[in-house]
Amino acid sequence: MLADYRRIFSPAGSLLFCAAGFVARVPLSMISVGIVTMLSQLGSQYRLAGSVSATQALATAAIGPQVSRLVDRHGQRRVVVPAMAVSVAAICGLVLCARYAAPDWTLYIAAAVAGCMPSMGALVRSRWAEIHRASQHLLHTAYSLESLLDEVIYVVGPILAITLSTGVSAEAGPLAAAVLLAVGVMLFAGQQRTEPPVRPEPLRAQGGALRTPGLGLLALTLTSVGATYGSVEVATLAFAGAHHHKALSGLLLGAYALGSCLAGMVFGTIRPRREITWRLLISVWVMALATAPLLFVPGLAALSAMLFVAGMCLAPTLINTMELVSRLAPAALLTESITWIVSGLSVGVALGYAVAGWAADAAGASAGYWVPCSAALLAALTVCLAMPRLSRAVAR
């Protein structure tokens, strides 16, 4: 099983940029929860803390594709270092405003500017696409590895941020995110031999990556997938609390992440035979079917098994989507294209948090699971409706 994973690191420099990209991506999972923890530790209401965190997340989703468009035009190294510097400065400004009780509007401004954080996941995947463009199987394995690393990042990052902000000092979580971002981006930018070349592309004059046939539909699909992921977390927290075992929610969500990690690892070693569009259709429908049993969960023991199974369908869906984007997008627009997909996923996660929380408050803890089930079904229906357009785009 590990042979394919060893093969993707055969090109010189591939291990170095992958490791540097991992370090630079950890802050993405730390900053939102780090802001909430910092502000709450300093005495702010959760309403303010949550809204400031949401401002940063939405700003990242909106600004990220614009930063990636500049990357495609001018190269990774020339863009990500200045973008990182702006984001790090904004995070430090946010920490200072919080520490010295500056007016609330300063927190929102600093959080919005922190959204200049480069989409390192897109940059790493662009490098994999460049070095394995001749082998779809190795690219499939590389994207599977990145999905596995994303799962690790989103398990470890929040724990690290919360531990630092509660155990060291309130500001330690966001400051650690800023340090990791600076170190990771500088190490990544230093790996110049694996950097994709800048390619002239007429499509830039026509509106950029969003003009790529099918890309908008894939971003919409990933918004629904993100809503599934985010709402599962909130619904599980509410369900465990309703059964007087809120402390077990971390283990339950760990089962969800473990299922996704294992599935992604195995999926990366499989040589796909079906066309990529059909693989996406199958994976998203399996995800919808695997999520449905959560509506009938009888207790916490059964919930852990159900979450494990549901999580196994998440990684293949994300891997197939990223592969399809790499097929559809011109090489000169690949970084921006992937970033739009990541932004759709991030917006979906934020929506899932909000809607699942509202459902659990309004109709009880179990009602929260209607949100991921509905979101997964919406993702499957979106792919169904998009199949003709996606198939024509792949054929071209």
CATH of the domain at 123: 1.20.1250.20
Instruction: Say if residue 149 is in the same domain as residue 238.
Output: no
Domain limit, last residue, from 188, 218, 242: 188
Instruction: Report yes or no on 113 lying in a domain.
Output: yes
Record the tokens describing residue 79, joined without a space: 């863009």
The candidate with the shortest Cα–Cα distance to 143, out of 161, 125, 117, is 125
Instruction: Say if residue 285 is in the same domain as residue 327.
Output: yes
What is the number of domains present in the chain? 2
Instruction: Say if residue 282 is in the same domain as residue 326.
Output: yes
Is the predicted pLDDT of residue 1 greater than 70, yes or no?
no
- Mean pLDDT over 124-142 rounds to 85
Instruction: Report yes or no on 1 lying in a domain.
Output: no
Q: Which residue has the tokens 């709450």?
A: 40
Q: What's the length of the chain?
A: 396
Instruction: Say if residue 225 is in the same domain as residue 342.
Output: yes
pLDDT of residue 203: 46
Instruction: Say if residue 169 is in the same domain as residue 105.
Output: yes
Which structural domain, as residue segments, surrounds residue 281? 207-396
Confidence of residue 132 (pLDDT cuts 50, 70, 90): confident
Domain limit, last residue, from 156, 188, 220: 188
Instruction: Say if residue 255 is in the same domain as residue 331.
Output: yes
Instruction: Say if residue 370 is in the same domain as residue 264.
Output: yes
Instruction: Report yes or no on 396 lying in a domain.
Output: yes
Query: Where is pLDDT greater, at 110 or 206?
Result: 110
Instruction: Say if residue 184 is in the same domain as residue 215.
Output: no
Of all helices (H) and strands (E), which one includes residue 83?
A: helix 76-99
Instruction: Report yes or no on 193 lying in a domain.
Output: no
Is the predicted pLDDT of residue 106 greater than 80, yes or no?
yes
- Mean pLDDT over 218-222 rounds to 91
Is the predicted pLDDT of residue 46 greater than 70, yes or no?
no
% residues pLDDT > 90 (the chain)? 21
Is the predicted pLDDT of residue 246 greater than 70, yes or no?
no
Cβ 372 vs Cβ 280: under 8 Å = no
Confidence of residue 205 (pLDDT cuts 50, 70, 90): very low
Instruction: Report yes or no on 199 lying in a domain.
Output: no
Q: How many CB atoms lie within 10 A of CB 272?
A: 15
Domain limit, last residue, from 140, 155, 188: 188
Mean pLDDT computed over every residue of the chain: 84
Instruction: Say if residue 182 is in the same domain as residue 213.
Output: no
Instruction: Report yes or no on 5 lying in a domain.
Output: no
pLDDT of residue 381: 94
- Mean pLDDT over 367-387 rounds to 91
pLDDT of residue 287: 94
Instruction: Report yes or no on 6 lying in a domain.
Output: no
Q: Concatenate the DSSP letters of all residues of 247-311 into one string.
A: GGHHHHHHHHHHHHHHHHHHHTTS---S-HHHHHHHHHHHHHHHHGGGGG--SHHHHHHHHHHHH
Buried b (16+ CB within 10 A) or exposed e, 101-125: eeeeeebbbbbbbbbbbbbbbbbbb
Cβ 216 vs Cβ 65: under 8 Å = no
Instruction: Say if residue 111 is in the same domain as residue 251.
Output: no
Instruction: Report yes or no on 2 lying in a domain.
Output: no
Rounded to two decimals, what is the model's pTM?
0.80
Q: What is the dihedral of CA 111, 211, 330, 144, to 10 degrees?
A: 50
Instruction: Say if residue 102 is in the same domain as residue 222.
Output: no
pLDDT of residue 112: 92
Q: How many CB atoms lie within 10 A of CB 390?
A: 26
- Mean pLDDT over 311-322 rounds to 88
Instruction: Say if residue 148 is in the same domain as residue 275.
Output: no
Q: Which of 16-20, 71-75, 308-312 has the lowest mean pLDDT?
A: 71-75
The candidate with the shortest Cα–Cα distance to 117, out of 3, 35, 210, is 35
One-letter amino acid identity for 282?
A: I
Is the predicted pLDDT of residue 257 greater than 70, yes or no?
yes
Max mean pLDDT among 50-54, 222-226, 367-371 falls in: 222-226
